[in-house]
């Protein structure tokens, strides 16, 4: 009897698990996702800033696995897990499993601030990135028409909450967008009224990275005119005012939220399986504690068994990729009645792009910055893209855009904002 593996979430973890088993006739797999495509989250901010097309970093699941007869796709949102009868409920039907793998990732964490949740602009999905792109472009058009200085300043201010890699990369991209594009294409706007604010509650940007990376990011963004506010956090967003923890406020129509994530809610699992940040507690083999035949991978899981990471692994793409591959190998070992291999994370480093020709890279034993780091960033971010055509198209687009400083895809479209939860 072939074992049926049900995988909820087509991100890095789910995709790499499927790839490791797609030629193994002992398994049938069904991928469940609310979208019909896999996308590359590290580059989503470039979609939001009109630098690249969403299609450059996306690839349809059905096309990806069209040659694999043991892989099926089911489009739908996960509603609940039913461990008793080994099934799940989605908004498009019920599915049964022999093994269930939850790899549905995270969503934005607004820390209980309801006004921020309703009005801030997150950037966790392609849909949210396109919504943000539209919002920025529409706000620029509104600012170009507005004659009232106070209102124009509010329209032109952009506040980014969160000084991690996404916040830093987004701030640098928006600053260069203003420098190279807004100055030429929006002559009606007084750029002296514009302000890009980058806010973080910690004392440094890029806090998980090296001092070299932190200082390089701070100095370059300051040079680009970004107003960096550290040791302060967002407390509310009322009447187009961002209220800060030090009592000050910033008037803006654009609050971009990159300040934290929380695991997607998975109903039906035992209460004791949910840990800090709503992450699912797993053992050294990614099996969900207090359950049978249920596993969790990637950002949504919390593994406390590895000595080097007593508080859990960082929520990075490499962790998800390696966990997906390790679980695939362990499923084979289960079938062959061999000893399972516990997960051990191989830290390959981290990186962030700051501006054109300028990035920071932290490797396990060495850190560097500048143009070579920027080239390394480009190379590393093209290699993992799914689909040969995507890699070629993205490389050509980057080459052209970085030379001309003038992306031509600033189209105002109108996707609906997604405020619901579901597998991703």
- For the chain, give the mean pLDDT: 91
Q: 225, exposed or middle or buried, with CB in 10 Å at 0-12, 13-18, 19+?
A: middle
Q: What is the pLDDT of residue 405?
A: 63
Asked if 421 and 265 touch (Cβ cutoff 8 Å), the reply is yes
Spatial separation of the C-alpha atoms in residues 393 and 406, rounded to whole Å: 17
Look at residue 421 and tell me whether its pLDDT is greater than 70.
no
Q: Do the strands 87-90 and 93-96 form a parallel or antiparallel pair, or are they unpaired? A: antiparallel
pLDDT 10s digits, 220-243: 999 999 999 999 999 999 999 999
Spatial separation of the C-alpha atoms in residues 297 and 280, rounded to whole Å: 9
Q: Cα 150 to the chain's mean position, in Å?
A: 34
Q: 387, exposed or middle or buried, with CB in 10 Å at 0-12, 13-18, 19+?
A: middle
Q: What is the mean pLDDT of residues 385-398?
A: 69
Lowest mean pLDDT among 18-32, 368-382, 383-397: 383-397
295: phi then psi, degrees, rounded to nearest 5: -125, 160
Look at residue 52 and tell me whether its pLDDT is greater than 90.
no
* Tokens 């696995």 sit on residue: 65
111: phi then psi, degrees, rounded to nearest 5: 50, 40
Look at residue 378 and tell me whether its pLDDT is greater than 90.
no
Structure-block tokens of residue 313: 């692994």
Look at residue 59 and tell me whether its pLDDT is greater than 50.
yes
Name the band, by pLDDT with cuts 50, 70 and 90, for residue 416.
low
Lowest mean pLDDT among 167-181, 263-277, 327-341: 167-181
* Tokens 């009322």 sit on residue: 238
Catalogue all structural domains in the chain, each as residue range(s) with its CATH number: 3-108+261-335 (3.50.50.60), 114-259 (3.50.50.100)
Q: What is the pLDDT of residue 164?
A: 95
Look at residue 420 and tell me whether its pLDDT is greater than 50.
no
For Cα atoms 351, 357, 358, give the angle at the middle one, nearest 5 degrees: 45
* Tokens 């209220």 sit on residue: 243
Spatial separation of the C-alpha atoms in residues 403 and 399, rounded to whole Å: 6
Lowest mean pLDDT among 236-240, 284-288, 385-389: 385-389
Asked if 41 and 28 touch (Cβ cutoff 8 Å), the reply is no
pLDDT 10s digits, 60-100: 999 999 999 999 999 999 999 999 999 999 999 999 999 99
Q: What is the pLDDT of residue 333?
A: 98
Spatial CA neighbour of 14 closest among 300, 343, 313: 300
Structure-block tokens of residue 410: 């600033």
pLDDT 10s digits, 193-224: 689 999 999 999 999 899 999 999 999 999 99
Spatial separation of the C-alpha atoms in residues 377 and 42, rounded to whole Å: 11
Name the band, by pLDDT with cuts 50, 70 and 90, for residue 381.
confident
For Cα atoms 137, 140, 144, give the angle at the middle one, nearest 5 degrees: 140
Q: Do the strands 241-244 and 195-200 form a parallel or antiparallel pair, or are they unpaired? A: unpaired
Asked if 374 and 368 touch (Cβ cutoff 8 Å), the reply is no
Q: What is the pLDDT of residue 422?
A: 40
* DSSP state at residue 225: T
Look at residue 382 and tell me whether its pLDDT is greater than 80.
no
Q: What is the pLDDT of residue 392?
A: 76
Name the band, by pLDDT with cuts 50, 70 and 90, for residue 33.
very high
Spatial CA neighbour of 142 closest among 130, 155, 153, 132: 155
Look at residue 304 and tell me whether its pLDDT is greater than 60.
yes
> How many Cα neighbours within 13 Å face the side chain of 3?
18
């Amino acid at each position: 009897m072939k074992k049926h593996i049900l995988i909820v979430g087509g991100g890095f973890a789910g995709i790499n698990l499927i790839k490791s088993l797609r030629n193994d006739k002992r398994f049938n797999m069904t991928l469940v996702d609310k979208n019909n495509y896999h996308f590359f989250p590290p580059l989503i901010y470039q979609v939001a800033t009109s630098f690249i097309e969403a299609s450059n970093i996306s690839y349809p699941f059905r096309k990806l696995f069209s040659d694999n007869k043991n892989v099926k796709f089911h489009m739908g949102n996960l509603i609940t897990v039913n461990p008793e009868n080994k099934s799940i409920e989605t908004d498009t039907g019920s599915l049964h499993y022999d093994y269930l793998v939850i790899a549905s990732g995270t969503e934005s964490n607004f820390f209980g601030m309801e006004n921020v949740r309703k009005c801030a602009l997150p950037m966790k999905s392609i849909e949210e990135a396109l919504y943000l792109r539209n919002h920025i472009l529409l706000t620029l058009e509104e600012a170009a028409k507005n004659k009232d200085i106070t209102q124009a300043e509010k329209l032109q201010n952009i506040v980014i909450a969160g000084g991690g890699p996404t916040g830093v990369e987004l701030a640098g991209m928006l600053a260069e967008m203003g420098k190279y594009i807004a100055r030429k294409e929006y002559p009606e706007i007084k750029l002296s009224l514009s302000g890009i604010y980058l806010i973080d509650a910690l004392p440094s940007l890029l806090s998980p990275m090296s001092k070299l990376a932190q200082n390089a990011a701070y100095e370059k963004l300051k040079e680009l005119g970004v107003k960096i506010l550290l040791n302060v956090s967002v407390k509310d967003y009322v009447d187009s005012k961002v209220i800060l923890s030090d009592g000050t406020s910033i008037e803006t129509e654009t609050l971009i939220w990159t300040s934290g994530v929380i695991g997607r809610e998975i109903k039906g699992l035992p209460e004791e399986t949910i840990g800090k940040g709503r992450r699912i507690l797993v053992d050294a083999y990614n099996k969900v504690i207090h359950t049978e035949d249920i596993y969790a991978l990637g950002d949504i899981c919390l593994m406390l068994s590895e000595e080097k990471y007593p508080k859990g692994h960082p929520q990075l793409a490499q962790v998800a990729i390696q966990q997906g591959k390790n679980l695939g190998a362990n499923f084979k070992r289960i079938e062959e009645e061999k000893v399972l291999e516990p997960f051990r994370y191989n830290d390959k480093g981290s990186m962030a792009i700051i501006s054109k020709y300028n990035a920071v890279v932290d490797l396990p034993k060495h850190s560097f910055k500048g143009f070579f780091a920027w080239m390394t960033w480009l190379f590393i971010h093209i290699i993992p893209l799914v689909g040969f055509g995507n890699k070629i198209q993205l490389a050509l687009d980057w080459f052209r855009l970085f030379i001309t400083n003038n992306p031509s895809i600033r189209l105002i479209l109108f996707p609906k904002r997604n405020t619901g939860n579901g597998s991703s």
